[in-house]
C-alpha cells in the first residue's frame, strides 16, 4: 500500500516566508502525487508472455538461471547466468512504422549478448533486429547487404534466410527471413528511429509488410550479465517534443519536476519554456507537470495540442 502525506499552508503575513512555504508545499505535493504511480515490480523466472501497462512483454530462457523484473511503463531489468539462451523484451503490438524508441540502459554483459529494437512483420514474414550494443560478439556475422545512416551513426545491414529453423516464427513453424541493422559503435542511451531502418531495408530490396511488433530487447547466449532498462518510450514523440523541457531527447519525471520548479519561480537551468505548456492552455502551471508525470508512467498517451 502507498501512503501519501500533504500539508496545509498556514496563514502567514510575511510574504517572503509565505512564498518559501508555497514552493515547498507545491513541490512536496507534486512528489506525493507522483508517488501514486509507483507500481509493484513483477519478477519472472520462467518463459512466459503477457501484457503490463499497455506494453507486451516476453521472457524466454532455456533453464532457470535468470529472471526478468517488470517495471513501470516499458522499463524492465534482466539478469542471467550462463543459460543456453535468454531473451527479454517489452514493447508495443502492433507498433507504428513511425515509432521512435528512446531508452537508457545500464548494460553489463559478460560474453555473447546484444540489445536494441526487435519485432516481427508479416507479408513477408520477417523477424528484425536493430542492435545498438553487444558483448563479446557483434551479431549477426553473415549476410551483409550495405549501410544506412540513422540517429547520428552508420548501421550495417544484414539479411539472413531462416529455412527449416528450430525457432518458431510469430505465426508458428515456417520459413522466414531476418533483417538486421547493427550500429558501428556501441551506446547505452539514445533514440532509435524505426522508420529510417524500414526505409533503408526497403532500398536494398528488404521490404517490411504488415508490422506486428516494436519492442526493446536483450538477448544472450551462453553468457552472463545484467541489463537495467531504466527509461524506455516506444510511443511516437509528441509534436515538437512537447514536454522535453531539458532538451535531452527524453520525456521523463525529471521534466515534470523542472516544470514544477518553474511554476514556483525556482528558475531551473536549461529550462525550455516553449516545451512546457503541454495542455496548451497558454500558461505553465502544476497541471503541466502532472501531465508529464502521467505521460512518463503511461497513464496518458499524448501531450500537446
Closest CA to 140 of 153, 125, 129: 129
Q: Greatest CA span in the chain, whole angstroms?
A: 80
Cα separation values, 48 from 77, 86, 89, 109, Å = 15, 12, 11, 22
Q: For residues 290 and 295, give the distance between their C-alpha atoms in angstroms, rounded to a whole number.
A: 9
Marked catalytic residue, from 79, 142, 177, 219: 219
- Number of other residues whose CB lies within 10 A of the CB of residue 43: 9
Bond prior to 163 in cis (omega within 30° of 0): no
Is residue 153 flagged as an active site residue? no
C-alpha cell at 262: 518553474
Q: Is 219 a catalytic residue?
A: yes
Among candidate residues 127, 142, 177, 213, the one labeled active-site is 127
Pairing state of beta strands 144-150 and 126-134? unpaired
213-242 exposure pattern, b = at least 16 Cβ within 10 A, e = fewer: bbbbbbbbbebbbbbbbebbbbbbbbeebb
Which residues are catalytic, by number?
Answer: 127, 219
Amino acid at each position: 500500500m502507498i501512503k501519501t502525506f500533504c500539508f496545509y499552508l498556514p496563514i502567514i503575513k510575511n510574504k517572503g516566508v509565505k512564498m518559501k512555504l508555497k514552493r515547498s508545499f507545491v513541490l512536496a505535493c507534486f512528489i506525493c502525487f507522483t508517488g501514486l504511480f509507483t507500481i509493484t515490480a513483477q519478477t519472472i523466472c520462467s518463459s512466459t508472455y503477457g501484457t503490463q501497462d499497455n506494453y507486451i512483454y516476453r521472457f524466454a530462457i532455456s533453464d532457470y538461471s535468470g529472471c526478468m523484473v517488470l517495471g513501470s511503463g516499458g522499463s524492465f531489468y534482466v539478469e542471467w547466468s550462463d543459460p543456453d539462451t535468454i531473451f527479454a523484451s517489452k514493447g508495443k503490438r502492433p507498433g507504428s512504422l513511425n515509432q521512435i524508441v528512446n531508452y537508457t540502459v545500464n548494460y553489463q554483459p559478460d560474453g555473447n549478448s546484444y540489445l536494441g529494437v526487435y519485432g516481427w512483420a508479416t507479408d513477408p514474414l520477417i523477424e528484425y533486429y536493430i542492435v545498438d550494443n553487444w558483448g563479446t560478439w557483434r551479431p549477426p556475422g553473415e549476410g551483409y547487404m550495405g549501410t544506412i545512416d540513422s540517429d547520428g551513426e552508420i548501421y550495417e545491414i544484414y539479411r539472413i534466410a531462416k529455412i527449416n529453423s528450430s525457432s518458431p516464427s510469430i505465426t508458428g513453424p515456417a520459413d522466414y527471413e531476418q533483417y538486421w541493422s547493427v550500429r558501428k559503435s556501441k551506446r547505452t542511451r539514445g533514440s532509435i528511429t524505426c522508420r529510417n531502418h524500414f526505409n533503408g531495408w526497403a532500398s536494398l530490396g528488404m521490404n517490411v509488410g504488415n508490422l506486428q511488433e516494436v519492442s526493446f530487447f536483450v538477448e544472450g547466449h551462453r553468457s552472463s550479465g545484467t541489463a537495467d532498462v531504466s527509461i524506455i518510450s516506444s510511443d511516437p514523440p509528441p509534436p515538437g517534443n512537447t514536454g522535453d523541457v531539458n532538451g535531452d531527447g527524453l520525456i521523463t519525471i525529471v521534466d515534470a519536476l523542472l516544470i514544477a520548479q518553474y511554476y514556483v519561480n525556482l528558475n531551473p537551468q536549461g529550462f525550455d519554456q516553449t516545451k512546457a505548456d503541454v495542455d496548451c492552455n497558454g500558461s505553465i502551471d502544476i497541471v503541466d507537470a502532472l501531465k508529464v508525470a502521467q505521460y512518463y508512467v503511461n497513464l496518458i498517451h499524448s501531450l500537446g495540442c
